[in-house]
Copies of this chain bind each other. A is one copy, B any other.
């Protein structure tokens, strides 16, 4: 699955980078939950007081350092992908791990980030998910400008605080969110309005009318900026949903409940669920940000797949299966130890043409050698002969044919191990 992600990302011009697993502790700060769960490193026998480094808890912190340190050398917009493990000191439970893989893509500009890149990252991720053996994905999208304009327009001062509450909608329901908003001093009418806003969804640009209707029937404060932000956000989200669906039909949906807890998003925000696995939560999320590095500049947009969470579900619910347990497509049998070199020679010629194979470990009876292949799911056994290259047997069908090690090929589906949906 990682190889599939790499292939799709690279087809779209994203280059792989890899960063060290550790960062200076002061970089692993911030307000997020993850930053409280950092694992700190000490040398065996050393004191905690010496600790200066911790394991990274996401791939954004190291990417920010990467761009900051290489800003004079990189060419922008810079497309990168990064597939690495991250570590969080959480309580382990189903779908939550202390060590897990993330697969991130980001496009970062130096000064101005063109709007069409918001659609591009979503399209790349949609195609990556299409290429994986997973159920159909729905990408739910919102726009922070739209939300901020609306929230400010209905008189909410602490937009970030209100967003963090709305982000819990799935967990605590509308009553829970309303209670939290009231505690933040948000008036009842405003709270009702933003909960109404969160109900709006559409698979195309038609959400626009519903937002405008709601806006026009809700008492608003005098705030030109809010009005402008709302208008810009609506236009961005319409363009985003429509471009993504034009490229990958049936993928994108405007969903105005999508909040994403993190403060740094400033435009598109994304969450992705798999059909029949909505309980798993979002398996691919992200958004647009104004500034990747602390000093400002470097606006970008990125998304991240929670690979381990996804794979864990696929395996635990037996949604996928591997076609065999080893890479070998062929077991080359050995007649006796004196002719092992001949079997090795056949294997070398098959490998030269890209056919993975192994040579039997012992010159046991052919029945035992076939059993060796069968236990590993190796589909073909090659029997060398004193003259010519011998014969190859498909041990599933029993069919056995004379073959030439420089010409014979297994069916394409048997060449390499594949991960298939059951």
Chain A residues near B (Cβ < 8 Å) = 10-15, 20-22, 25, 36-48, 51, 54-55, 75, 77, 79, 85, 87, 89, 99, 109, 114, 116-117, 120, 243, 246-247, 325-328, 337, 340-341, 344, 348, 351, 354-359, 361-362, 372, 375-376, 416
- Jot down 10 A-B pairs with beta carbons below 8 A, ordered by A: A11-B355, A12-B357, A13-B357, A36-B44, A38-B43, A40-B46, A42-B51, A44-B54, A75-B375, A116-B337
Could you tell me the distance in whole angstroms from the C-beta of A8 to the nearest C-beta in chain B?
9
A351 to B124, CA, bound (A): 11
Evaluate contact between B37 and A39: CB separation under 8 angstroms.
no
Evaluate contact between B44 and A47: CB separation under 8 angstroms.
no
Evaluate contact between B327 and A10: CB separation under 8 angstroms.
yes
| 5 nearest A-B pairs in the assembled complex, by CB-CB distance | A13-B358, A10-B327, A13-B328, A43-B89, A38-B44
Out of B77, B114, B355, B376, name the residue touching A75 (CB < 8 Å). Answer: B376
Evaluate contact between A356 and B89: CB separation under 8 angstroms.
no
Out of B37, B44, B89, B361, name the residue touching A37 (CB < 8 Å). Answer: B44
- Nearest to A123 among chain B residues (CB) is B344
User: Assuming A12-B356, A12-B358, A40-B44, is B327 touching A20 (CB within 8 A)?
Assistant: no
User: Assuming A13-B356, A38-B44, A47-B48, is B21 touching A77 (CB within 8 A)?
Assistant: no
Q: Which residues of B contact A43 (CB under 8 A)?
A: 37-40, 89
Q: Which residues of B contact A357 (CB under 8 A)?
A: 11-13
- Nearest to A354 among chain B residues (CB) is B11
Q: Which residues of B contact A13 (CB under 8 A)?
A: 326-328, 356-358
Evaluate contact between A42 and B42: CB separation under 8 angstroms.
yes
Q: Which residues of B contact A22 (CB under 8 A)?
A: 99
Could you tell me the distance in whole angstroms from the C-beta of A56 to the nearest C-beta in chain B?
12
Could you tell me the distance in whole angstroms from the C-beta of A37 to the nearest C-beta in chain B?
7
Could you tell me the distance in whole angstroms from the C-beta of A233 to the nearest C-beta in chain B?
20
User: Assuming A325-B15, A328-B13, is B348 touching A247 (CB within 8 A)?
Assistant: yes
A87 to B361, CA, bound (A): 34
Q: Which residues of B contact A358 (CB under 8 A)?
A: 12-13, 79
Could you tell me the distance in whole angstroms from the C-beta of A381 to the nearest C-beta in chain B?
13
Q: Which residues of B contact A117 (CB under 8 A)?
A: 361
Most chain-B Cβ atoms within 10 A of its Cβ — which of A38, A117, A344? A344
Q: Which residues of B contact A47 (CB under 8 A)?
A: 48
User: Assuming A39-B43, A40-B42, is B15 touching A326 (CB within 8 A)?
Assistant: yes
- Nearest to A22 among chain B residues (CB) is B99
User: Assuming A361-B77, A361-B117, is B40 touching A327 (CB within 8 A)?
Assistant: no
User: Assuming A14-B327, A358-B12, is B38 touching A39 (CB within 8 A)?
Assistant: no
Q: Which residues of B contact A44 (CB under 8 A)?
A: 25, 36-40, 54, 89
Q: Which residues of B contact A348 (CB under 8 A)?
A: 247
Evaluate contact between A362 and B21: CB separation under 8 angstroms.
no
